[in-house]
A and B are shown apart, each in its own frame.
Chain A
Amino acid sequence: MFEGEQKARFEATVLPHLDAAFNLARWLLRNRTDAEDVTQDALLRAFRAFGTYRSGNARAWLLQIVRNTCFTWLRQNRMAAEFMEFDEATMQQENENPETLAMADSDRERLTRALESLPESFREILVLRELEGCSYKEIAEITSRPIGTVMSGLARARLQLRNSLSQPAVKEARRAL
């Protein structure tokens, strides 16, 4: 296919799902700046791989690339990320970023914190279902899991989210100090 045509087709079928791509990356990486970089990277990968995309669910196709790019990025940055998690200074900084300050709604803040505290696989499945409104079939396609696992995974993810909401315990207490 001609390059220009390819680009036009990509812009018409894949680019409309940019918000979905960014939202998933933002929640997997827990950070907007990293999410911007990784989304950009994922979209360029998608563009290069667009020749292999035939038809079907463009959103699921793109989100699959986004989550794989995110997990690669996380693996590469894992050491740094784990180190930062224990770094109080970073916690402080994070607390001061405008998004956090703008969260007038305490419900939103509580949910954000609870969601961010979940393991990646639970966070991913909840974001795809609750925020992105994906069907089980789409989630199965994006995460390469059987549908039954998606359903039981959601049950466990919601349970853990509820637990984490009901005991904001340690971090909250530390914040208050």
Chain B
Amino acid sequence: MPCDQTQNQLHGYLDGELDALGAANFEKHLETCPDCKQSLSAEQSLHRSIQQAGLYERAPESLRRNLIGNLAARSEVKPFPAPRVSSWRWLAAAAVLLLTVLVGWQQLQRPRGLRGAQFMAASLVDAHLRSLQPGHLTDVESTDQHTVKPWFDGRIDFAPPVRDFASDGFPLLGGRLDVAGGRTVAALVYARRKHIINVFVEKAQPESNWNGAGESQGYHWLAWQQDGFSICAVSDVAATDLEQLRKLISEN
């Protein structure tokens, strides 16, 4: 493979965007091409210094407050729109609604297999969203794993694996209890740059025995089984970051 062809691929490789075959081909090329190897390591070091520089700027609290006030004002001022739909349309709408509810109910009734995974992922993404509301993130706020781990004792009947990975760029922020899919789960909260990652842990059981990764409402999730636990990480960080955290958790 000539080098000019690999220039773009190098970036795809760096960003974890090549498919398995592409990545393997590129790695093969790296072995024989010192130039590309050097470019890759230069790109990696640029990437690291951008990550470490703390360039992300969060929205000021005043903006959030104004916006919520503004939205409230907008949704109150507008009068309730008068229904101008003839009655048979209402009937049709009601029938569609009934059908939707029935189908939805059926799906809720079998949270197993692939559907079960999607159901579980959706409820964990919801739990992640809830946790981002002010004051909902942690019940025990500490970067010390020796404070967070014992906090779960007596609150749940299992001991989730709690480790701080600050030196790997995933500092522990704390933990809390949450409910997903009708079960109580332990939630460990990590930071990645300025983003929040929730790692949900529960005892493995037939309903929660699922693996995989996906995306829902703009959030990534990654689920795996480990030492009798079902674990699922949810965040708006890149899927590659979740994969990195999964490696850290399962290797420690």
Taking a contact as CB atoms under 8 Å apart, the answer to whether B8 and A152 are in contact is yes
Is there a chain A Cβ closer than 8 Å to B67's Cβ? yes
Is there a chain B Cβ closer than 8 Å to A143's Cβ? no
Question: Which of chain A's residues have a CB closer than 8 A to the CB of B55?
Answer: 108, 111-112, 115, 130-131
Taking a contact as CB atoms under 8 Å apart, the answer to whether B58 and A154 are in contact is no
Interfacial residues, chain B to chain A (CB-CB below 8 A): 7-8, 10-12, 15, 17, 42-43, 46-47, 49-60, 62-64, 66-68, 70-72, 74-76, 78, 80, 129, 132, 193-195, 215, 217-219, 236-239, 241
A25, B46: Cα distance in complex, Å? 23
Taking a contact as CB atoms under 8 Å apart, the answer to whether B50 and A130 are in contact is yes
Is there a chain B Cβ closer than 8 Å to A151's Cβ? yes
Taking a contact as CB atoms under 8 Å apart, the answer to whether B53 and A47 are in contact is no
Those of A1-50 within 8 Å (CB) of chain B: 2-4, 6-7, 10-13, 15-23, 26-27, 32, 36, 39-40, 43-44, 47
Question: Which of chain B's residues have a CB closer than 8 A to the CB of A11?
Answer: 68, 71
Give the dominant DSSP class at B's interface.
helix
Question: Which of chain B's residues have a CB closer than 8 A to the CB of A6?
Answer: 75
Most chain A CB within a 10 A radius of its CB, from B42, B51, B57: B57
Interfacial residues, chain A to chain B (CB-CB below 8 A): 2-4, 6-7, 10-13, 15-23, 26-27, 32, 36, 39-40, 43-44, 47, 55-61, 105, 107-108, 111-112, 115, 129-131, 133-136, 151-152, 154-155, 158, 161-162
Contact of A22 among B43, B59, B78 (CB under 8 A): B59
Q: Which 7 pairs across A and B sit closest by C-beta, in order of nearness? A: A59-B218, A22-B59, A133-B238, A3-B75, A108-B53, A7-B75, A57-B218
